[in-house]
Structure 1
């Protein structure tokens, strides 16, 4: 078994690749590939934001993160459920590799969720039975078997373990079990988890159609594990071509993960719900023009009582201090559309000092903030706490205003 090790945003030169390995790096791991100068069979490879491992035949293509693996695991766990990570980073021990670390994190959260026993609940069942149970589905009966008495199309509620929460856990466990994992303990934990969910239907989810779960006091102890499962299932590797089988692997879009983490952390800091602090796709309609043809979807927005009180953007890249011009133009568009006097841009790397730019014609302040993802979880959350204070009480006359 060959392992090809690459690093996020670092160029590796002169690698020999098969056509399938080259195409997988480009399509699944989103790497930039250029022919090596002076060679027709070797390539220079620069991965982008996508990290993880994908197996192609006897070769594992591995893109390691530029930040410590433990920080990636923290971002995943916190983005899934901030409340579960406020005082607990015991599952962030140093992992042998990213994939094994993710699997270990997931099985640990599942063990905690299942400690009180398997969650059961009611779910709707539609079936063809020889006797009446629940209600007869007349429309289905007449459509499928007009003029026949049996079997009967019926609809009823079943109380068992085959519910959405357990189906999500099983789907994520089966996905992780297909990967090459280092560490027998993690593999055994995954097998035990799958065995414990044997009465649950194994479903295949499309990354864009992962079901949400309504959290109540009855199932809240499942939340860290289930929300992490939902994150992992959204990160499924795409197929290389129509009709081919799914590429075995786990990939993580660090830009999407960073955005999800920042949103979850600020939402937690403000004690806001998802409707008050939505994702970009769920943001209330914003448009830049009078005819509302230029629609905008900011990464961050806060809508207490239905009114936009804050707007911002997240960039998973390094900034030297004042912010990139194109990012500031985008931020100004958000502030203009929301009719706010300020907006905030958050980078994943850069100097600790914030910057502020006054746009005099628009009378808008653009703030530039930076998070250091190499810091331990406690320090990183303190940085977000600082951001939350700035968010609620912006200083429009800061010393760095320009």
Structure 2
């Protein structure tokens, strides 16, 4: 470990890791327990743990700066290249890389690569000129501009300044404010080397003076209006969505604290499978995502995916993604997917896992065929998707 660099606690998602008692100060462990209980299970040293710390990630991967001197890095089980491929689908990152250019060895490298791409593209747009739009403004002016507020003028005839309503073209709009906020967030992550950080700072300074720094959530990047003048912003906002989606608020106060960067793998897997199916929908079908089923006025469910017949709009397959690798399907998962299928009068209920189960499921529950299928993340994603689709559309019963 380099002098002055933080001590790294390395974990892999869902895998138990142990550390000697003197490796983690109790004050650091308390912060993990108090602030990141949803992300990490932690057992304090006892006779039961053989006087060692036990930590396990609950399905998040990324970087958590606990203190300036202690960071947690959680590695994904998925190969980095495939994690990046999942992100491209899930966040619609329509980036065409040269062959082999994205062979990153770690999640941090992937983060850096995307941060550098975003900063470079923002600088490129700044050189061409930021997209500008007309915003409505109301001001009291010494000369008439736009529409005069007559009621205000009649109420105060002695006021030499008239209340005017007018439109002003400006670059200080949401399209650009989202870019500035995302660069600000990246700068606070501490995940980029100096070569990339300097590019991020350069892009941020290029926006300063033109754009107000305002906080945004990732939802601001979705369903925006693009046209001939701002078409290139679609990729910029997709990249911003990636960073805003996965950067959480710091548990410390103060502008100089580093921010945790965490990817929810279960959510990513669900989004990836959905987007892959939308892009590769079998002929004669269409995909519905997050379909709401209401049971009564106080209770409803959202089903991950439906595959429907184009001609009749009838639901042919109910699919629920499960980012875990048990030996067999749990009874709760089986009952849930059957309930979904019954609610929609569908005869095919599918549970989708990232790995083959030791005891795969393929049974009949009354008129419903219940199966566990695999959309693997271990090898080529497109080939894995084709294998999954072939199994999905199979009519062979056990």
Q: TM-score range by the shorter chain?
A: 0.7 to 0.9
Q: TM-score, normalised by structure 2?
A: 0.78
The 3-state SS of whatever aligns with 1:316 is: coil
Q: Which runs of 5+ in 2 are unaligned?
A: 1-5
In the TM superposition, what is the alpha-carbon distance from 1:112 to its structure 2 partner? 4.8
Mapping for residues 177-188 of structure 1, pairs under 5 Å: 177-188=187-198
The change in CA–CA distance for 1:386 and 1:113 in structure 2 (over 3 A counts) is: farther
Structure 1 window deviating more from structure 2 (257-266 vs 324-333): it is 324-333
Residues 1:269 and 2:280 are matched in the alignment: yes
Structure 1 distance, partners of 2:99, 2:203, is 22
Match of 2:368 among 355, 364, 369: 364
The change in CA–CA distance for 1:278 and 1:239 in structure 2 (over 3 A counts) is: farther
Q: Which residue does 1:19 correspond to in 2?
A: 27
Alignment RMSD (CA, Å): 3.8
Structure 2 distance, partners of 1:179, 1:233, is 11
The 3-state SS of whatever aligns with 2:278 is: helix
In the TM superposition, what is the alpha-carbon distance from 1:74 to its structure 2 partner? 2.5
Q: Which residue does 2:335 correspond to in 1?
A: 329
Match of 2:260 among 246, 249, 252: 249
Q: Which runs of 5+ in 1 are unaligned?
A: none
> 1:213-249 CA distances to partner (integer Å, 9 max, x unpaired)?
13445544333331131132122324548x7777622
Larger radius of gyration: 2
Q: Is the 8 A contact 1:100 1:186 kept in 2?
A: no
Structure 1 window deviating more from structure 2 (2-11 vs 344-353): it is 344-353
Q: Which residue does 2:213 correspond to in 1?
A: 202
In the TM superposition, what is the alpha-carbon distance from 1:90 to its structure 2 partner? 5.0
Mapping for residues 96-245 of structure 1, pairs under 5 Å: 97-109=106-118, 111-112=120-121, 115=124, 117-130=128-141, 133-135=145-147, 149=159, 156-198=166-208, 199-206=210-217, 212-216=223-227, 218-240=229-251
Q: Which residue does 2:3 correspond to in 1?
A: none
In the TM superposition, what is the alpha-carbon distance from 1:313 to its structure 2 partner? 0.8
Match of 1:10 among 3, 12, 15: 15
The 3-state SS of whatever aligns with 1:286 is: strand
The 3-state SS of whatever aligns with 1:252 is: strand
Structure 1 distance, partners of 2:227, 2:282, is 17
> 1:96-122 CA distances to partner (integer Å, 9 max, x unpaired)?
x42342132232255357646345142
The change in CA–CA distance for 1:218 and 1:209 in structure 2 (over 3 A counts) is: closer
Q: Is the 8 A contact 1:31 1:47 kept in 2?
A: yes
Structure 2 distance, partners of 1:356, 1:46, is 32
Structure 1 window deviating more from structure 2 (325-334 vs 161-170): it is 161-170
The 3-state SS of whatever aligns with 2:346 is: coil
Q: Which residue does 1:80 correspond to in 2?
A: 91
Structure 1 window deviating more from structure 2 (226-235 vs 23-32): it is 23-32
In the TM superposition, what is the alpha-carbon distance from 1:152 to its structure 2 partner? 6.3
Structure 1 window deviating more from structure 2 (98-107 vs 214-223): it is 214-223
Q: TM-score, normalised by structure 1?
A: 0.78
Structure 1 distance, partners of 2:103, 2:287, is 31
